[in-house]
Structure 1
Amino acid sequence: MCECKALPIRFDYTPKGKVEALGGDLEGYVVAGTKPAAIIMLYDIFGYTEYPQIKQVCDHLSAATGFTVAIPDVFRGKPWSMAKSPAKPEDNLIGWIQSVGSYAKVSSDLKLTVDFLRARGAERFGIAGTCWGASIALTACSQPDGVFEACAGLHPSLFGKDKEFAEALLRPVALVSARGDPLETVQEVVNGKPDLAPKCIWKRMDDVEHGFCAARGDYKNEVVTQRVAEAVQLLAGFFTSNVA
């Protein structure tokens, strides 16, 4: 059962966790829980240094589940610049993602983070991501030998490969999509998997824009903060049911 103790989302918020060394040259934001379970959260392409909204999401997710939540800084402090958003063709955003944010590149950081969390007492794991990070989370739950028991995507970016991501899934998924974000194709495919479908969550929030939980989230906007709080509670219940 979800403890549902998350606090209201605020603009004037001080993160409760801290940045720690996760292994090798990898650092990450960690908020400690009380239960032997953990969630790894992948931020969006803008990271968490200049845009700390995702830290608040993780704090509340930890409070609501009792899980430890960690955000590995997979971009090593060098995320995509907001000044180059929306990206122009000459910026080559996809090429940048393929070079520093492909699953092949990030998977070693996921292992480091899992090992770190195991040393802190975690025995079971979920994974979530915002925007680009959602594609990593879904891929992690498509690995036959994977350690993650469930995955989630907040305003996911699946790069036009919604069906491919859905067909490969081996673990339950929760998607919380903003206006225009992927959801229906993934839901349709997963609904054809009777072992997964009853465990999944699907929610579209058409009154907020892509990125509302993370770097693009305007936490001064009451509608946005209400939707972020709702998304946290949905994920808290989902991970409690599928990971705890």
Structure 2
Amino acid sequence: MAGPQCCSNPPIINTSCGSDCAENYGGLNAYVTGSPNSKHAILLASDVFGYGAPNLRKLAGRVAASGFCVVIPDFFHGDPFVYDNNRPLAVWLKDHGTDKGFEDAKSVIDALIRKGFSAIGAAGFCWGAKVVTELAKSEFIQAAVLLHPSFTTVDDIEGVKSPIAILGAEIDNYSPPELVKKFEDILKARPEVDSYVKIFPKVAHGWVVRYDADDEAAAKSSEEAQNDMLQWFAKHVK
């Protein structure tokens, strides 16, 4: 029997992203890349700027190169946040709540399971981290990684059931180091949930996918976080 298809459509060759294609997963358009023979999938939940961000797709290529099928759904249905004084973030969020994102993510995971994937991990960035946290609380995934999370609370972390890694920034008003350390204390008190928490010095919120490629230090910090994420998935999504 053939393995699950990551990309059933003919792949588009893109020099910056590798072999990739656009598919519909659970009613959402998605950017998909990786081996069509992989049985292990990774869902990447974007920040508010959406699934088309170049650095996010570049990261998807790295994850795919490690042997995973990678899916980045368009949780915002063609309406990512843009800086516009006529539509501040608080207004945009009313139309794109993380609760709706969680429901959409479940549909994507159902589609992955129907395609035959035997293990699924998820990583979330900023807005997407809250969505992934909800998935980890409900055991829809085998492993979770939160990167510079927003909206995730202490109560959320107390409810997590899937192995989880949390990568935070030293300079972050959305998820300050003090809060991330609280997350770490909660997880340390719950040894039944494998966890890893790390705060990266001298970086700001969004550094993993919002870095300047010409800034060597910023790119290096992002790469370190990406490596941590890949190691976590290699450990748990198998």
TM-score by length of 2: 0.82
Q: Is the 8 A contact 2:45 2:125 kept in 1?
A: yes
For 1:87-236, list aligned pairs within 5 A.
Answer: 91=87, 93-103=89-99, 105-143=100-138, 146-158=139-151, 162-181=153-172, 182=175, 183-196=180-193, 199-214=194-209, 216-236=210-230
Offset of 1:42 from its aligned partner? 0.4
Q: How many residues align?
A: 217
Q: Structure 1 unaligned runs (5+)?
A: 1-12
Q: 1:70 to 1:184 in 2, by over 3 A?
A: same
Equivalent residues of 2:26, 2:108 under 8 A apart: no
What is the CA distance between 1:43 and its match in structure 2?
A: 0.5
> How far is 1:92 from its partner?
5.1
Provide closer, same or farther for how the CA distance between residues 171 and 115 of structure 1 changes in structure 2, counting only shifts above 3 A: closer
Give 1:55 shift. Answer: 0.7
Q: Which whole-Å CA distance do the structure 2 matches of 1:234 and 1:123 have between them?
A: 22
CA contact (8 A) 2:208 2:226 kept: no
Identity %: 27
Shift of 1:19: 4.0
Q: Which amino acid aligns with 1:152?
A: V
Contact 1:154 1:177 in 2 (8 A): yes
Question: Looking at both structures, which has the greater relative contact order when contacts are Cα pairs under 8 Å and sequence separation is at least 6?
Answer: 1
Q: Offset of 1:73 from its aligned partner?
A: 0.5
Shift of the alpha carbon at 1:141?
0.7
Distance in structure 1 (CA, Å) of the matches to 2:79 and 2:235: 35
SS in 1 for 2:142: strand
CA distance in structure 2 between the partners assigned to 1:123 and 1:52 by the alignment:
28
The root-mean-square deviation of aligned C-alpha atoms, in Å, is 2.1
Unaligned runs of 5+ in 2: 1-14
